[in-house]
Amino acid sequence: MTTADKLNGMQSDFPEDDDRETSRGALTRQDIALAIHRRIEGVSRREAKRIVDCVIDEMVSTLVSGESLKLHDFGSFLVREKEERSGRNPRTGAPVPIEARRVVVFKASPNMKATVNGEPPAPRDKAPEKRRPSRKNETIVARQKSDAIALGDTLAE
């Protein structure tokens, strides 16, 4: 059962998926690994856990390096730099410096937003038309050819 199916109240094709404890209020690594184990024949629980850990490790290392992480039809994780600023202690009202830091921000895709709100995802566009190469590339190639011809003329003299 997909998250969208759960949000829409649909029943799972995998009855054991409905056994997941939802009282915790969060989908955990263990839940993901168990879903992989149950849905992909021949994948043991241990292998499923390794797969989940590997994917999460790759995601974390991408964000640590400062790159954005984009998951189609899910959303994007972005690393933002926050500058040092002055804050206040809520109890005493005393000024407290807040150090500069990097934060991870998640931006849901339009299809994820639609699914969460119970709406159908936006239809996909047709395959994009093939674009004609830009003239800039043609100019570079023409220059390279003319340079090569000029170089050939110079060598011939």
| DSSP states along 24-57 | T-S--HHHHHHHHHHHSTT--HHHHHHHHHHHHH
> How much is the pTM?
0.59
pLDDT-derived band at 79 (thresholds 50, 70, 90) equals very high
What single-letter amino acid sits at 18?
A: D
Average confidence (pLDDT) over 60-80 = 95
Task: Please report the sign of the dihedral spanned by the C-alpha atoms of residue 67, residue 61, residue 107, residue 99.
Answer: negative
Cβ atoms of 145 and 139 closer than 8 Å = no
Q: Please write the tens of the pLDDT for every residue from 3-40.
A: 444 434 444 444 444 454 444 689 999 999 999 999 99
